[in-house]
Every structure is written in C-alpha cells, then in structure tokens.
C-alpha cells in the first residue's frame, strides 16, 4: 500500500527543493544537480508521489541508455537523501535499475600526436591554445574565462576562478607554455587572457583540424598518470568532484598505462637496483 502523502510535512516537490538546498550547502557539483532537478521535475509532473512502478515506467520510456542511466542515478540520489531524512515514500530507491553504461570510444590526444602538432605551421593563437590545454588540462569554458591577472608565470600556474563545480583551483603551466604566455602578454591590454569565447575556441581547433578540448583534457589526464602524478592530486588539479571521474577519463587506457609504468619501473630497477630498493 502506498504511503499517505499527508503524513509528511512536505510534498515530494517541496522535498526536491530541500534536496537542492542541502546539495548546495554541501558544496557539491552545481551542474550535476541542475540536470537532476530538470529530470526529477519531469517525473514529479507526471507522478507527484512516484511509486517504484512509476519510476520504472519513466525509465523504460527513455530511448537513450546514457540518459536512462542518468535518470536512474537522479532518482536514486534523491530517494537515498529523502529516506535518510526520515521520509520513506521513496524507500525503494535501491531497487531502481540502472541502465548498463555503454562503452564508447574516447578520443584522446597522445604525446605522439602532441609532438606532431608542434611541427605544424600553426597561427600563434592556435598554438597557444593547444599548449595551455596540454599543460593544464583546463576545460574549454574555463580557458575562455581566464584573465591576465589569473596568470602567475613566476610560479608557473594559472588560477581557474570559474569551473564546472564552482570551485576555484590552480593548474600547472610547463616551461614551454610559460614562454608562449610571456610572448602573448607583452602587448596584452588586460582582461581576458585568450579573448575568445568557448565556442570560438572550439571553432579555432576545428578550423585547423585539431582535436577537441575534451580530447586534450583526456590526454592531459592520461599523460599525468603515466608520469606518476597521484590520482588525488590529479583530481584537485583537474577540478573533478570525485576520483571516480579520473577513473572514467582513463578507463579505456588504464591497462596500457599500467603496463607502461611497470616497464619503466623494471627498467629503472635493472639500471640502478640499489636506489630502487632503498
């Protein structure tokens, strides 16, 4: 028998607002909740106090496996929070099925592809963009919002003020990128560093047949892991809300990364066994 909604102080819709407030208070990723909120409001519009059957019907009507999975995650997250708050109307949340995640090829810029691009005759701005992407791993939108005052070449770092999870962070700048930035800043009037919108950056990369910024971000992630960067540090520098995202970015190539690292360690051990064993 369904729970009587009148036994509770808030409707499901009102509890969704409370869930949003708690989410924001805890400082969790804003963009994720925006999607959760949109999807859950759609569910509540057709079933104000949804049952498990309502949710299963709602999920089954969705053709896209990835969206179906995201919807499942949304209702599970909301149901768990609501149940822990003492409201048992969604106490069946753990029974909500999650669509299997379809493995899709993840285009990734490799170190070899980056090296090949360095030999191409590219305009200065296009070269600066790819150097920043490879050195810092920033998202395209984040790059478009970086200002001149956010760049600290003495410390080889850039401050990312506006990120996907609304948290500021510092990202590293390598020597080559720093040299290009010095040249770029000589006669810079101030304000936005690149002076291009996120869409303009996308079009610049596409115009010269260069991989998307997302491919560069994956490449930066994999290259960092292969270089021995700790996953916790990588999570912070990459601006991810959890370590699961680091694994998600590298899952298709984790085997090769592990093998490469093993070979490097074994080679180093053969060359200098005493140092490795210390």
Residue 249 lies in a domain: yes
Q: What is the pLDDT of residues 159-210, one digit of tens each?
A: 998 777 678 899 999 999 999 999 999 999 999 999 999 999 999 999 999 9
Beta-bridge mates of residue 105:
none
Boundary (domain end) residue, out of 26, 61, 95: 95
Do 132 and 177 belong to one domain? yes
Query: Looking at the domain assignment, is residue 35 inside a domain?
Result: yes
Residues 180, 78 share a domain = no
Q: Is the pLDDT of residue 152 over 80?
A: yes
Task: Write out the H or E segment, with its range, that includes residue 260.
Answer: helix 254-271
Which H helix or E strand runs over 51?
Answer: none
Query: For residue 154, what is the domain's CATH number?
Result: 1.10.443.10
pLDDT at 276: 46
Q: Is residue 100 part of a domain?
A: no
Answer whether residue 277 shows pLDDT above 60.
Answer: no
What confidence tier does 257 reach under pLDDT thresholds 50, 70, 90?
A: low
pLDDT score, position 147: 96
My answer on whether 177 and 44 are in the same domain is no
* Cross-strand bridge partners of residue 192: 147
Judgement on whether residues 243 and 120 belong to the same structural domain of the protein: yes
Distances, alpha carbon 163 to alpha carbons 61, 166, 215, 235, in Å: 33, 5, 18, 13
- Where do runs of H (alpha helix) occur along 85-212? 111-118, 124-136, 140-145, 175-185, 198-207
**Structural domain containing residue 86:** 5-95
Residue 243 sits in the same domain as residue 167: yes
Domain-terminating residue out of 66, 95, 124:
95
Q: Per-residue pLDDT tens for 61-104?
A: 999 988 999 999 999 999 999 999 999 999 999 999 999 876 66
- Could you tell me if 163 and 212 lie in one domain? yes
pLDDT at 1: 37
User: Residue 220, Cα to own-chain centre: how many angstroms?
Assistant: 13
Out of 40, 70, 95, pick the residue that ends a domain. Answer: 95
**pLDDT score at 222:** 86
Could you tell me which of 269, 249, 271 has the C-alpha nearest to residue 261?
Answer: 269
Per-residue pLDDT at 274: 59
Q: Is residue 103 in a domain?
A: no
Beta bridge partners of 171: 158
pLDDT at position 244 = 72
Residue 3 predicted with pLDDT over 50: no
DSSP state of 192: B
Q: Across 3-7, 94-98, 218-222, 243-247, which has the greatest mean pLDDT?
A: 94-98
Which of 48, 78, 43 minimizes the C-alpha distance to 62?
A: 43
Tokens of 149: 């005052």
36 and 126 share a domain?
Answer: no
Number of domains into which the chain is organized: 2
Verify that 43 and 129 share a domain, yes or no. no
Angle ∠(214,216,220) on CA atoms, nearest 5 = 120
Residue 247 belongs to some domain of the structure: yes
Q: Which residue in 62, 63, 44 sits closest to 54, CA to CA? A: 44
Q: Are residues 54 and 129 in the same domain?
A: no
- Measure Cα distances from 192 to 9, 100, 197 in Å: 49, 42, 10
Mean pLDDT of the chain: 87
Question: Does the pLDDT of residue 117 top 90, yes or no?
Answer: yes
Q: In the chain, where do the E strands start and end?
A: 151-152, 157-160, 169-172
Q: Residue 86's domain is classified under what CATH number?
A: 1.10.150
Question: Of the ranges 60-64, 214-218, 264-268, which one carries the lowest mean pLDDT score?
Answer: 264-268
Is the model's pLDDT at 275 over the cut of 80? no
Residues 125 and 78 in one domain: no
């Amino acid at each position: 028998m369904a729970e009587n909604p009148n036994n509770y102080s808030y409707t499901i819709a009102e509890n969704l607002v409370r869930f949003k407030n708690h989410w924001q208070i805890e400082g969790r990723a804003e963009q994720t909740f925006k999607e959760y909120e949109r999807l859950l409001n759609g569910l509540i519009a057709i079933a104000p106090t949804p049952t498990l059957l309502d949710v299963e019907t709602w999920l089954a009507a969705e053709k896209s496996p990835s969206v179906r999975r995201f919807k499942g995650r949304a209702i599970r997250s909301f149901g768990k929070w609501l149940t822990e708050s003492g409201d048992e109307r969604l106490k069946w949340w753990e029974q909500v099925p999650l669509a299997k995640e379809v493995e899709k090829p993840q285009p990734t810029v490799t170190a070899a592809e980056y090296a090949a691009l360095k030999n191409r005759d590219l305009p200065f701005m296009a070269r600066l963009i790819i150097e920043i992407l490879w050195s810092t791993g920033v998202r395209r939108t984040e790059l478009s919002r970086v200002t001149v005052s956010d760049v600290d070449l003495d410390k080889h770092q850039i401050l990312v003020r506006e990120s996907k999870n609304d948290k500021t962070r510092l990202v590293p700048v390598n020597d080559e990128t720093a040299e290009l930035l010095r040249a770029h800043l000589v006669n810079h009037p101030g304000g936005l560093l690149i002076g291009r919108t996120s869409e303009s950056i996308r079009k610049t990369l596409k115009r010269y047949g260069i991989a998307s910024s997302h491919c560069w971000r994956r490449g930066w992630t994999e290259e960092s892991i292969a270089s021995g960067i700790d996953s916790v540090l990588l999570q912070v520098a990459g601006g991810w809300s959890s370590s699961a995202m680091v694994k998600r970015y590298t899952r298709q190539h984790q085997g090769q990364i592990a093998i490469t690292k093993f070979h490097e360690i074994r080679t180093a051990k053969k060359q200098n066994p005493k140092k490795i064993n210390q």
